Amino acid sequence: MFDLDKALASWRETYARNDSIDLDSLTELENHLRDEIDALMDQGLSSQEAYEEACAQLGQESTLNAEYAKVHPDVSWKRRMLAMLVGYMSVGVLLSAAGMITSLFERVLWHFGLDKVVCSLPWSVYVENSAFRATSTEASADIIRWDEVSLATLLTAGVRAVALGMIVYLIYRCLHGRVGWLSKLLARCRSAPDRLVVSLIVLGTLLSQVVVGRAWYFRLVQFLSNGNGSSKFGMEMRMNGEAAISPVTIWIQPLAYCLIAWFAFQAYRKPQLSGRYDVLPTAICGFLIGSVLVRMTSFLNSLIMVNFELAETGFNQGAPLAPAVYVFSLSVVAGAFVLAISGRGFPTLRRFLTSLPRRPYLVMTS
């Protein structure tokens, strides 16, 4: 038995994969389809016949997408940027989580006096640096002490996890055109559901960065009050999975490169990959671009802190000016994103972006 609602739902899902047709346009087209089906059924056609006839009259999906792309060249870029942000943030959250788990594990081991085991762990930074090993062991007395710094770290991870969950959920629902209860909320800002999502993401990112900034502030206070503070640094840097040069990065980055190579290969082999596949490689691109930006920030950071004790050890994230630099660069990037996406600024950038070939991974890897 033909189920019209099911057929329309599946039609919507298929069309939602066209990267140039946004949610509003999709609703508009669906309403058109429904009107046409109603009219055809009034003429005596069965629901299935009416559905098929209406779909045929609507035109070819690919041609339609191409027409929409001419009028709205920015829609596909908005989607790509969303996927990029998701990719970047999800890796950040994973790294934070992994860093927290490993450091918790180490703390527990330390608590039971197994510091030698900790130092021999394959990812342990203490092995590489004897000074750190010594100071860290000294600091082992208050290992399970949840001071303000570790609370801030927990808070960071929590905020990030919530933000990420929210983002992934929103993107998933929006990309598939099934917004459910969200449609009521989105209906209030009909003209710009994409913009709403972007604002939420930027807000979430900024919020989490504020918490990171707070963690840095506490570290700084601790450092100044301790005089040398290196022992605390040794511990706390391990606590903040992102701030420390996490060993997980070493594992995830090659994996990300492998994935991106695989998708690039797939793209060349099967150029007709549907929109659903576009999300993952784009997300990975986002992670790589984000990582480059963060590394640039670290580099700037290391230029500022020449006489800082920790600079010699290679851990340069504890610089006094780090939060300021980090927040500044992040605001610049976030601002540029928002302005470019909202269409209020950077016409040249927008023109450049929209003139690029439409396959995101080809753009990014070329």
Partner 1 sequence: MDKPPRELVAASSKPLVLAVLAQGDSYGYAIIQEVKKRSAGQLEWTDGMLYPVLHRLEQEGLIRSFWKKSETGRDRKYYRIERAGRKATEKHMREWRAVNGALEGLWEGGVACST
354 part of the interface to partner 1, by CB under 8 A: no
DSSP label at 343?
Answer: T
Report how many residues bind partner 1 under the rule CB under 8 A. 23
* Candidate segments 35-43, 213-221, 271-279, 318-326, binder of partner 1 by CB under 8 A: 35-43
351 part of the interface to partner 1, by CB under 8 A: no
Query: In the complex with partner 1, which residue's Cβ is closer, 179 or 294?
Result: 179
CB of 168 to partner 1, least distance (A): 26
Question: Binding residue for partner 1 (CB under 8 A) from 32, 111, 145, 295?
Answer: 32
One DSSP character per residue, 2-71 reads --HHHHHHHHHHHHHTSTT--HHHHHHHHHHHHHHHHHHHHTT--HHHHHHHHHHHH--HHHHHHHHHHH
Picking from 204, 161, 197, the residue whose alpha carbon sits closest to that of residue 179 is: 197
CB of 68 to partner 1, least distance (A): 6
Choices 60-68, 198-206, 251-259, 350-358 (CB under 8 A): range interacting with partner 1: 60-68
CA pseudo-torsion sign 154, 103, 316, 333? negative
If one asks whether residue 34 binds partner 1 (CB under 8 A), the answer comes out as yes
Question: What character string, x for contact with partner 1 (CB under 8 A) and - otherwise, covers 8-27?
Answer: ----------------xx-x
**What DSSP string describes 226-267?**
HSS-HHHHHHHHHHSTTTS--HHHHHHHHHHHHHHHHHHHHH
CA distance linking residue 198 with residue 218, whole number of Å: 30
Q: How far is the CB of 11 from partner 1 (least distance, A)?
A: 12
Going from the C-alpha of 232 to that of each of 252, 302, 326, the distances in angstroms are 27, 20, 22
41 binds partner 1 (CB under 8 A): no
The torsion angles phi and psi of 321, rounded to 5 degrees, stand at: -90, 0
For 268, other C-beta atoms within 10 Å of its C-beta total 11
- Which residue type sits at 339? L
| Shortest spacing between CB 73 and partner 1, in angstroms | 11
Stretch that binds partner 1, among 29-37, 137-145, 153-161, 198-206 (CB under 8 A): 29-37
Q: Contacting partner 1 (CB under 8 A), which of 68, 263, 287, 308?
A: 68
Check residue 58 for interaction with partner 1 (CB under 8 A): yes
Region of 55-63, 174-182, 219-227, 274-282 interacting with partner 1 (CB under 8 A): 55-63
Nearer to partner 1, 67 or 147 (CB): 67
Q: How many CA atoms lie within 13 A of 184 on its CB side?
A: 2
Contact segment (CB under 8 A) with partner 1 among 43-51, 65-73, 85-93, 119-127 equals 65-73
Q: Residue 14 contacts by C-beta under 8 Å, 6 or more apart in sequence?
A: 61
In the complex with partner 1, the residue whose CB is nearer, 1 or 71, is 71
First CA to last CA across the chain, in angstroms?
Answer: 49
Here the tokens at position 59 are 């035109």
> Under rule CB under 8 A, which residues in 156-195 are in contact with partner 1?
187, 190
Any contact of residue 276 with partner 1 (CB under 8 A)? no
SS3 273: coil
Encoded tokens for 120 = 């021999």
Cβ proximity to partner 1, 73 vs 320, nearer residue: 73
Nearer to partner 1, 35 or 128 (CB): 35
Among 67, 128, 147, 312, binds partner 1 (CB under 8 A): 67
Q: Residue 21 or residue 310: which is nearer to partner 1 going by CB?
A: 21
**CA distances from residue 323 to 104, 284, 298 in whole angstroms, order as listed:** 25, 26, 11
Q: By CB under 8 A, tell whether 47 contacts partner 1.
A: no
Interface with partner 1, residue 72, by CB under 8 A: yes
The helix or strand, by DSSP H or E, that contains position 314, with its residue range, turns out to be none
Q: How far is the CB of 214 from partner 1 (least distance, A)?
A: 42
Q: Which residues bind partner 1 (CB under 8 A)?
A: 24-25, 27-29, 31-32, 34-36, 38, 57-59, 63-64, 67-68, 70-72, 187, 190
